[in-house]
């Protein structure tokens, strides 16, 4: 078979708390296929046990892999998987651990050994950052952002952090290490209690919305006509959402305010909290570029509010958001990290 008939690339896996994800990136860095499946959560419940999530990943992975491989081979090309990447933990920290990520690790290790190809280990957070850089409409050339430090916000149901991100190659790492370690990430601030996504989900479930509640709460908020405000609780680079949850749940229980107003007030509070810490970060860190990723970052109201408040001349921030499709958990960023680690090998073929 001619070389032109062979599709080469990297396969990526991510098994997070609520989504099974796989993706394939070809030798040029183009995303050729991806598959995702949400883990089912019973109505009225606010999450899954890790053991149940691990079991569901085990069911989903073979099915999604079969679908993805069929998609890649549908044009008659041979398929060459030249490397496999996977997220081993929530963030690149030895203390960062969740059992669900072992599901992806198990499949990735097994395939890499069977195919005798390189295995690239990364983290869920690095995957989000890379997917954001490569999908954002505001980032025309990812390599330009990867040439210098930038700020990032990871905003989801399991993480709410303000980060200072430096490309790994700037840390004096060897080329091989620089390929494996996508970013050097310093946490500047974080939530002191609830994550932004937890606030959205807990209020959403209390309002009778499905879990995860993000898209449903966003839709509900569009019907709001009032100006209910939950105060933002911010200290330095850290923020708190527990007080907002208490106030919102009390209003829901006592039927004081309509659901749309509560939903919009939750969105306003998250946006206002982020605005405050990002204003401070741009001024203090002297870094204008800000990448915002994670499932909560898909919210259109949040995006519009932050752009309006932070991109004017008085602040001078340059905001970039992952696309709505790649804001949530996915394996695209993981596969891209694997591809970056193999770029030299692909160039030599």
SS (H, E, C) 250-272: HHHHHCCCCHHHHHHHHHHHHHH
Contact status, residue 101 vs residue 15, Cβ threshold 8 Å: yes
Domains of the chain: 3-136+328-347 (3.30.420.40)
Q: Does 133 score more than 60 pLDDT? A: yes
Those residues whose C-beta lies under 8 Å from the C-beta of residue 184, and which sit 6 or more positions away, are: 165, 166, 167, 168, 170, 171
Res. 4 pLDDT band, cuts 50 70 90: low
pLDDT for 248-281, tens place per residue?
Answer: 999 999 998 999 999 999 999 999 999 999 999 9
pLDDT tens sequence across 301-330:
999 999 999 999 999 999 999 999 999 999
pLDDT value of position 303: 98
* pLDDT on residue 177: 44
Question: 241 pLDDT exceeds 80?
Answer: yes
Whole-number pLDDT of residue 305 = 98
pLDDT score at 180: 58
- Rounded alpha-carbon distances, angstroms, from residue 79 to 1, 24, 73: 11, 11, 7
Can you tell me the distance from the alpha carbon of 293 to that of 275, in angstroms, rounded to the nearest whole number?
Answer: 15
The pLDDT confidence band at residue 110, using thresholds 50, 70 and 90, is very high
Q: How confident is the model at residue 74 (pLDDT cuts 50, 70, 90)?
A: confident
Round to whole Å and give the CA distance between 331 and 154: 16
Strands 183-190 and 160-167: antiparallel
Q: Specify the 3-state DSSP secondary structure of 51.
A: helix
pLDDT at res. 75: 76
Q: pLDDT value at position 146?
A: 87
Please give the model's pTM, rounded to 2 decimal places.
Answer: 0.94
Query: Mean pLDDT, to the nearest integer, of 72-90?
Result: 93
For the stretch 109-126, what's the b/e string if a residue is b when 16 or more beta carbons lie within 10 angstroms of its beta carbon?
eebbeeeebbbbbbbbbb
Q: What is the DSSP letter of 213?
A: -
Contact status, residue 103 vs residue 21, Cβ threshold 8 Å? no
């Amino acid at each position: 078979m001619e070389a032109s008939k062979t599709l080469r690339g990297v396969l990526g896996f991510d098994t997070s708390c609520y989504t099974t994800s796989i993706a394939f990136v070809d030798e040029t860095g183009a995303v050729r296929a991806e598959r995702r499946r949400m883990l089912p959560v019973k109505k009225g419940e606010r999450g899954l046990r890790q053991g149940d999530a691990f079991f569901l990943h085990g069911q989903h992975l073979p099915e999604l892999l079969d679908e993805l491989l069929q998609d890649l081979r549908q044009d008659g090309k041979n398929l060459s998987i030249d490397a496999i990447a996977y997220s081993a933990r929530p963030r690149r920290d030895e203390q960062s651990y969740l059992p669900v990520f072992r599901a992806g690790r198990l499949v990735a290790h097994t395939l890499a050994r069977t195919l005798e190809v390189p295995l690239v280990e990364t983290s869920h957070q690095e995957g989000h950052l890379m997917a954001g850089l490569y999908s954002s409409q505001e980032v025309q050339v990812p390599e330009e952002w990867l040439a210098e430090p930038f700020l990032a916000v990871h905003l989801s149901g399991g993480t709410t952090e303000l980060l200072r991100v430096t490309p790994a190659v700037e840390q004096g790492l060897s080329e091989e290490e620089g390929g494996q370690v996508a970013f050097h990430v310093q946490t500047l601030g974080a939530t002191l209690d609830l994550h932004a996504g937890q606030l959205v989900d807990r209020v959403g479930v209390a309002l009778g919305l499905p879990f995860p509640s993000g898209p449903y709460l966003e839709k509900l908020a569009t019907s709001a006509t009032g100006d209910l405000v939950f105060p933002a609780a911010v200290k330095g680079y850290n923020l708190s959402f527990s007080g907002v949850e208490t106030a919102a749940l009390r209003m829901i229980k006592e039927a004081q305010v309509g659901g749309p107003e509560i939903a919009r007030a939750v969105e306003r509070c998250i946006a206002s909290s982020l605005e405050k810490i990002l204003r401070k970060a741009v001024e203090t860190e002297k870094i204008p570029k800000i990448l915002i990723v994670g499932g909560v970052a898909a919210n259109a109201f949040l995006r519009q509010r932050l752009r309006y408040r932070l991109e004017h001349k008085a602040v001078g921030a340059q905001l970039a958001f992952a696309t709505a499709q790649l804001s949530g958990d996915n394996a695209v960023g993981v596969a891209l990290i694997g591809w970056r680690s193999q770029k030299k090998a692909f160039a030599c073929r």
